[in-house]
Amino acid sequence: MGILDGKVAVVTGAGQGLGRIEALELARHGASVVVNDLGTQADGTGSSEEPAQGVVGEIEALGAKAIAAFGDVANWDDAQRIVQTAVDTFGDLNIMVNNAGFSRDGMIVKMSEDMWDSVIRVHMKGHFNMIKHTMDHWRARSKAQGGEPLYGRLISTASDSFLMGNVGQPNYAAAKAGITYLTMSAARECQRFGATANVVLPRARTRMTMSGPWAGIFEKPDEGFDTFAPEHIGPLVAWIASPQAAHVSGQVLQLWGKHIRVYERPQPALDHENESEWTVDELDKVLGAFFEEKKPVEDGFALPMA
């Protein structure tokens, strides 16, 4: 018996990389999986049905059930059809794992309108579309059940690039910040159905992390423990999707190697009420002293490891 026996999952961007790892992990625990992927390159160009069909074959080889769905998650109608594929094929949809995306990196001064729009579209609109249509299904199912709680898990993929504001990734960082707070809002809304919504910040070797200036950090070591192997992320997604995490919602979790981290929402670092109304000089007394010991944001890519 698997912890996800009888559950139905959709995993977007599941033809390769982290999505493939997660789809296989969910299947190992008993879930039936809709494998969504357009088979694009790391920059979103091209298309192929082979990656998704290949993962379906891998899942079936495990003795689990799977079907491929080739729609564009950022297209409203395609996203709805992906959700409906799960319902029509397996009878329900319990777990939505949003991964689909690509990166088109560049400095702000060199970024084109298309570089910005395409990344925001696939990540933010893609996550919204899949969350929206999944929650529509849950709302209808909840009404049909007389308001009884149902089994629902929304899992969004963000990145710590939004925490650090990576130089050369303003579009990607902005999209991942939007995904995080979209999911926080969804967590509040889907609570009435008995469902949860959480964010995963995977730190792993993928096509996107291996194509930037920091690729060397993620290189597979010649020997020893492979800290950034994408396989490490699968168990976290399976745990969030499981009954064991029914009480976990609105959280941001990060995993790499043997390390797990949970982020709190932003907290005030300074909270001061002045005795008189603010002037430039009064602000300088408070803010000048506060920021005197703090360093400005540094240039370059940052990857905090502790």
Name the residue among 202, 238, 205 with its Cα closest to residue 221.
205
Cβ contact 162:176 at 8 Å: yes
Residue 7 known to be catalytic: no
User: Which position among 103, 118, 156, 176 bears the catalytic label?
Assistant: 176
Q: What dihedral angle (degrees, nearest 10) is formed by the CA atoms of 225, 226, 231, 236?
A: 70
How far is residue 30 CA from its own chain's centroid? 22
Intra-chain end-to-end CA distance of the chain, in Å:
37
**H helices then E strands: how many in the chain?**
10, 8
Cβ contact 39:68 at 8 Å: no
Helix axes 126-144, 76-90, angle to 10 degrees: 40
- Count of beta carbons in the 10 Å neighbourhood of residue 12: 30
Structure tokens at 196: 């949860």
User: Which position among 32, 159, 161, 249 bears the catalytic label?
Assistant: 159
Name the residue among 65, 59, 85, 61 with its Cα closest to residue 73.
85
- Count of beta carbons in the 10 Å neighbourhood of residue 150: 18
How far is residue 31 CA from its own chain's centroid? 19
Cβ contact 197:156 at 8 Å: yes
- Count of beta carbons in the 10 Å neighbourhood of residue 250: 16
Cβ contact 160:214 at 8 Å: no
Residue 112 known to be catalytic: no
User: Which position among 7, 161, 172, 242 bears the catalytic label?
Assistant: 172
Residue 181 known to be catalytic: no
List residues with catalytic annotation.
159, 172, 176
